[in-house]
Structure formats: C-alpha cells, structure tokens
Structure 1
Amino acid sequence: MGAQQNDISSSHGSLVKLKRLYLQSVPAGSIAFDALVPVGRVDWGFQDRLYNTILSKDATPYQPADAYTRRFLKFLIACLERNLAEDEELHDSILTLYSNLMSKPDSLSDATMPTFITYLLPANKPPYRGRGEEGDDTEVVISERKSVLSADGHTGSRTWEAALALGEYFLSATLPGSKRIPQCRVLELGAGTGFTSILLSKMGARYVLATDGDERVCDAIQRNINLNGRRNNISVSQLLWGTSQEDSPIYTEPWDLIIGGDITYDVRDLSDLVFTLKKLLVANRRAGAKVIISATVRNEITLSEFNTELSAAELNFEVREVSETGRQIWFYGNDTPIRIYTISLE
C-alpha cells in the first residue's frame, strides 16, 4: 500500500509539472516528456489522471491554442507509446482529442491571434489572499501573442522572460527593507501584459498600479486584470516616462515599491526612465521606497549605459544575476542572462 501511495504521489507531482508546461505553452520539443511519465509503466489509470488533470476542458477554463495542443499531443502520445505497460493501450479520450485537432483546419490568422497563457503559482508558496477578490488565486491568466511582438507594433503582447524572473523573485526572495508584499503599495512601469502586477495583487499587495506608455497596452492590461477576477487592489493607468507627464498625480501618490520587467532594452529611453525613477524615489524618500527591475541582457552596452545613467542621477544600485536555480517556477530558459536591479536613494 505504501509503495502504491508513493507511486500515485510521484505521478501527481509529475502531472502538475506537465500541466505547468502545457498551460504556459512551452514549446513541445523542449519538454522532457520521458522524465514526467512512469518509464515502462504507463497504464490506463495514469493516462486517465493525465487527461483529467491537464487536457480536459474541465481541467482549466483557459485552454492553450489548438495548434499548440496538437503539437503537444503529438510528442505526448509518442512518449506514452514508448512507455506503455504490458497489455496496456492508449487512452481513448487522449486519442479522440488528438484526432479532432488533426481534422480541424488551421486559420491563416491563427499565428497572430491572441491565446491564453496560464502561469500556475507554486503550491508550496501560496500567495497571500487579495482584497475582495473573485477568481482563482492559484494562477495568473494572460492573453498573449507568443509568436509576434504585436500586430500593432508594440512589445506589450507577450510576457517576456524578465517579467517571469521578476515574478519568481517576489515569490522566492525577501524584499529589501522590512516590508512584505501585503504592506506595499506597488507601481509597475512598462507593465506590458500586466503579469507582474496581477501576480502581486494576488499576493495581497495593499494596492498595485500597472502603467504603460501605450494606451492600447493599458487597455490590454485591463482585459488581463478582468480575466483574473474582480479585485479592488489593482488598476491600470497610462504613464509616459521623463518630463512628458511629470505633473501626473501618480508622482504624488505614496509608493513603497516601484518595479519593472524588461524595460531597459532601448537605450533611447534610459534617461527618461531614470528621471522617472528618481522623481518617484525622491517623492517617497520618507517611506524608504525601493525600485526593483529585472533586465534581460541582450546588449551589455545598453545595460552599461543604464548603470551610467543611474550613477549620474546619484542613485544607489545593486545588481545580481538570476541563476539557473532561480528559474524553477516557470519556463524561461537558461540561455539569456537576466539581472535583478535594486535601486534606492541611499
């Protein structure tokens, strides 16, 4: 009985990992399927749990795109066939789902249509309960275009790796200073899809304001907020960096934490970004406000210029690399370096 219980527990953990990858629409060719099924012991019971945990419409209200599911099933079925126990067959429901998707014609617009990406939160690190929330606090659901920047030409149509690293930082690390997320009023700059803001709202932040310079991106953020259930501790607003909106009331509101994910990629925006960071920090000096930014290292010259701008503005900053061990919750690869900046006045 004990061995059987251990097998069920182990398979459950594997299925949760597989579900995490599936709902994030991780490229099927990058998934180590063989490591997530019982080697040579795949039976009907395991396949039934797999189908009901991951693939059925009841498993999640927001399914990945059909084209992705079809490719995922192609790799999955091949793996299951390799590991079937003696006298076992493939599950009818899995084969039927794959057959239906294979017979469904692709639309020419499928590659650019938004799709739902679900980021499961770790069960062993449950978020704090938000205020007045409705919806599922075990996941963050984002409408994204994974294959293109955007049909409108902006970069806010997908959740970039640095935003995932920033989210993992807040779930795994201790904030600088003595405050915890539930004590913080949080301002996000260049929020993109709104992933990090929504995550922090589900972690129980006192209040989160997601901002972006593009009105269309702000509209998309609001739609993503709505996808995750109504709550009264998060909203969205347009904010242009630099002097363009230096009279915005956002600068006069109290903030404990100013954050940004992948907002340092364009050297032309760095001086305006640093202007905004310093203005916010100065306005919230007494509260000991901090800035935390995750930066994907695409070009060392760009980040060197960012460092120069910070120093010229007399802002203190510490930088640490996101290690491989810091990429455990969501899939965002190990190929591209990501750095976490902690910025303050003192």
Structure 2
Amino acid sequence: MVPDLASCLAQQVPVAFLRSTLKTYINNDQDRVLSALNDAQCPPAYVTAVLRTLIQVSESNDVPVSETIAEAYANQLVMPHSSASDDEPTVVRYKLYTPPECPIVASSTVLLREKPNILVSEGSTGHRTWEAALALADYILRHDNSKAPSQVVELGAGTGLVGLVSATKYSSQVIVTDGDDQVVSCLKGNINLNSWAQPLVKAQPLVWGTDHAIVHHDQIVVCADVTYDDYIIPYLVSCLRDFLKTGSRYCLLSATVRDESTLNIFLGCCHDNRLKAELQLTYSDPFDCQFFIPPHSPDIRIYRLSIDNSN
C-alpha cells in the first residue's frame, strides 16, 4: 500500500518527492490536484509550491496548463502570505485506512501541529512525526489483530501520532507520555486539535527509569524511535520491564535501523532483563505503508516485547 495524492498532500510531503505522482495528473486531471489541496487545507506556501511544481512538470512534458491551475497559481502569488518562517508550526492531517474487517471506531483523520521542515527544535524531538512512528501507526491500523485493550500508554510520544491512532483503532483510554515538559505541552495541544480524542486521550510526563509505571489491568505499551541512543537504552528497558511486570500485555516498539550496533545493544539489554523481543514486521524501501516515508530511508522494524518466562 502506498499513500495516494490526497494523503500525501494532507501529510504535506515535500514537493521534491511528488513530481512523479503529479506527472500522472497532467493530462486530464490537473484540477483534481487543486481540489485535493483545498480538501487538505494546506498552508498557502505549500499550495504555491505544489502548484508551481505541477506547472513545471506539465510544461516539461509539453502539456498545456489548465486555466484553473494557472489562475489558482497566479492568485497564490499575489495573495498576502504570512511572513512566518519554515520552522513555524502547521497543522498536518493524517488520513487513516484500515482493512474492512478492522474498521476505525473513532476518527478517520488525525490532526497534528508540527514543524515538518526541521529536525530538532529547542532540544526536543516533539515537533515533527518521525518515520518509525508512521510505520508503527500503519502497523497498528493494518496488521495488529489483537483484542482491544482498555488502556494504551505511549512512551516517548513526540507528536502523539501513535497514541492517537491507537485511540481510533481501539477506542481505548490512551495516555501519551514524554520526559520533556515542552513536548507534553505540545501533546496536549495536539489532543485538543482532535475533538473526538479529548474524552479518550490525555498527556502526562513520564521519565524512563525515574517515574513509576502506570499500572492498569488490561494495557499495552507502544513506542516509536526510542532506541536511537546507547545512553538511554538501560532507562528505556527498565521502564518497559516495569510496565510489563505490572499488568501490560505486551509492548509494540518501532525502531529505525540507523545503526545496527545500537539496536543490538537494545536487544541485548532486553535479553539481560528477561524481556522477549519478537520481530513482527520490517518496513523497507519501497515502503508498504499508508503514510509517506521518504525513499532510501533506513529499515524500520516492529518488535513485540513481553516478559520471557522461559528458563
């Protein structure tokens, strides 16, 4: 599964990755691109960039630009735009799809306020959604057939996509957590963007290795892109062990394989703490994912962690 144009525009995929997709619309469907941009409620600067690229692709293939597209682009150029810089937050929309046998129960769209053009801001990573979170959200929606838990806890939640997707899939109580107070504040803002989520989802601080696990009798834990640093791995594994020993059924963990040795340190630490890590799925380029993941990105592995009761 690959995201369609409407999903890519809603996700505000960088236009450099859209040229080949836009080419399929230049002959008879140029106006559909504008319609999709309007439906996605994209910011003016992004609309301008997409229309400019559509015009460039059309002209380079000797295809006339439709009057509607030319007029819309001209209007964008004369429209007074905000002077906000690229690192200003924008609302990104994630369209959700599930197999027919696993219908979404809460909402088919998740809204997140992100800064998609930056890597890190003010010492935190909670300002954009990383590829490991996109893969885990897709896995939960399309591949996880487990009985719905009554509670989901997300660790190192970042923007909160995985937690919010869990709420749509399971209609469970969800607690999204992070060790950074600023990220927790952003999480609360993202929950408020999604009116359907406010009764189901809450955000709170949780520092690995310091704060106690949130105890619940029927719970799963989810986390994405949390194995990136050797230093934090013992604290992460300690936190996961506490959750799994106090009532969590299992943990779904998504790891971007930037450095195989770092991932092996994590898996070794799990083994030393009697946690079983079972590989469920690997996302590789070209990515079979309903959300856009840039080509040539590293593999992303989904693990299911549980207490190892073997001798």
What TM-score does the superposition give when structure 2 sets the normalisation length? 0.87
How much is the aligned-residue C-alpha RMSD, in angstroms?
2.6
Alignment of 1:1-346 (within 5 A): 17-31=4-18, 32-34=20-22, 36-37=24-25, 41-42=27-28, 46-52=29-35, 54-56=36-38, 59-60=39-40, 63-81=41-59, 90-92=66-68, 94-104=69-79, 109-122=84-97, 125=100, 127-130=103-106, 137-175=107-145, 179-181=146-148, 183-231=149-197, 232-242=199-209, 244-246=210-212, 250-284=213-247, 289-319=249-279, 320-324=281-285, 327-335=288-296, 336-346=298-308
Counterpart of 1:51, as a letter, is L
Give the number of the structure whose alpha-carbon radius of gyration is greater: 1
Change (3 A) 1:273 1:152: same
| SS of residue in 2 equivalent to 1:245 | coil
Change (3 A) 1:326 1:342: farther
Change (3 A) 1:84 1:116: farther
CA-CA distance at 1:323 after TM superposition:
3.5
Does the 8 Å contact 1:47/1:91 carry over to 2? Answer: no
| SS of residue in 1 equivalent to 2:42 | coil
Counterpart of 2:93, as a letter, is T
Identify the structure with bigger relative contact order (alpha carbons < 8 Å, sequence gap 6+).
Answer: 2
| SS of residue in 1 equivalent to 2:252 | strand
Does the 8 Å contact 2:58/2:65 carry over to 1? Answer: no
In structure 2, C-alpha distance between the alignment counterparts of 1:65 and 1:266, rounded to whole Å: 34
- In the alignment of these two chains, the number of paired residues is 302
Does the 8 Å contact 1:211/1:239 carry over to 2? Answer: yes
Identity across the alignment (%):
30
What TM-score does the superposition give when structure 1 sets the normalisation length? 0.79
CA-CA distance at 1:331 after TM superposition:
0.8
In structure 1, C-alpha distance between the alignment counterparts of 2:160 and 2:103, rounded to whole Å: 17
Unpaired runs of at least 5, structure 2: none
Unpaired runs of at least 5, structure 1: 1-13, 131-136
Q: Which range moves more in the overlay, 119-128 or 210-219?
A: 119-128
Counterpart of 1:262, as a letter, is D
CA-CA distance at 1:311 after TM superposition:
0.8
Structure number with the higher strand fraction is 2
1:76-97 per-position Cα deviation (integer Å, ceiling 9, x unaligned):
1233456788xx76133x3233
